[in-house]
Amino acid sequence: SKDVQCVLPTNLLSLLPPPAHPAPPPPAEVHEVHEEVPPLMSLSLSLCFRLTAPKIPEGEKVDFDDIQKKRQNKDLMELQALIDSHFEARKKEEEELVALKERIEKRRAERAEQQRIRAEKERERQNRLAEEKARREEEEAKRRAEDDLKKKKALSSMGANYSSYLAKADQKRGKKQTAREMKKKVLAERRKPLNIDHLSEDKLRDKAKELWDALYQLEIDKFEYGEKLKRQKYDIINLRSRIDQAQKHSKKAGTTPKGKVGGRWK
């Protein structure tokens, strides 16, 4: 055939010593070849025919089973080393994963502790602010009471005007107290608690729209009241200027305008 291969095991050639003289080729029958053989194939055929089977020295035997066994043992050892390396790497990765989980849990616990401490400090701060506010209000009320007492003692020697002064002071204080109470009442009516924990998403949207409309209406009322206050101030200024002009004209004419002088009408 055209495909001629001559392959000898290299391990056997390395074990055997080279021959002193090349062995003569074995006699072979020569047949006539009618087909033309390519040069490369003819060279391969000549090399194959020149190579002969190596002779094993007498007294030495090659144990192919032992060689195969050693090779299998070597392959098994290499495979076992690869398996051990794989399991070692796997074990190392698992240890790193466990360490990472422990660090995450530790960090989470630290963060929760920090949040708890921060919330506790915030509660303490709010309590201190509330206590400070209550203390200031108490001191302010005490100071006002002392001032009123001093004024009463100072005015007790003024005679007949004392009772009228006390009545006016009580009336003025009552007006202030009434206005403050009305303000608190209005604020309490407007500040309604929001119960939104049980509301769904659509109801929350409706509630937000309702609050927005209320805020928008409050801004409109605020703007209208501001404009009304500006107009009232403008009217007051105009009226005062007209009164001043009228008084100036009356003085020039030599007449004394009627008005309240020293608490009496003239």
186-228 pLDDT per residue, tens: 777 777 777 777 778 888 888 889 889 988 998 999 999 999 9
Answer yes or no: are the C-beta atoms of 50 and 25 closer than 8 Å. yes
Mean pLDDT confidence for 64-75: 86
Could you give phi then psi for residue 93, rounded to 5 degrees?
A: -65, -40
Question: Hey, where are the domains in the chain?
Answer: 10-59, 63-157, 200-241
The pLDDT-based confidence of 13 (bands split at 50, 70, 90) is: very low
The pLDDT-based confidence of 262 (bands split at 50, 70, 90) is: very low
- Give 50's contacts (C-beta < 8 A, 6+ positions apart): 22, 25
Q: How far apart are CA 211 and CA 205, in angstroms?
A: 10
Q: How far apart are CA 4 and CA 46, in angstroms?
A: 11
Q: Which of 58, 54, 69 is nearest to 12 (CA)?
A: 54
DSSP-derived pairing of the beta strands 264-265 and 260-261: antiparallel
Q: Which of 48, 9, 11 is nearest to 28 (CA)?
A: 48
Residues 180, 185, 187: CA angle, nearest 5 degrees: 95
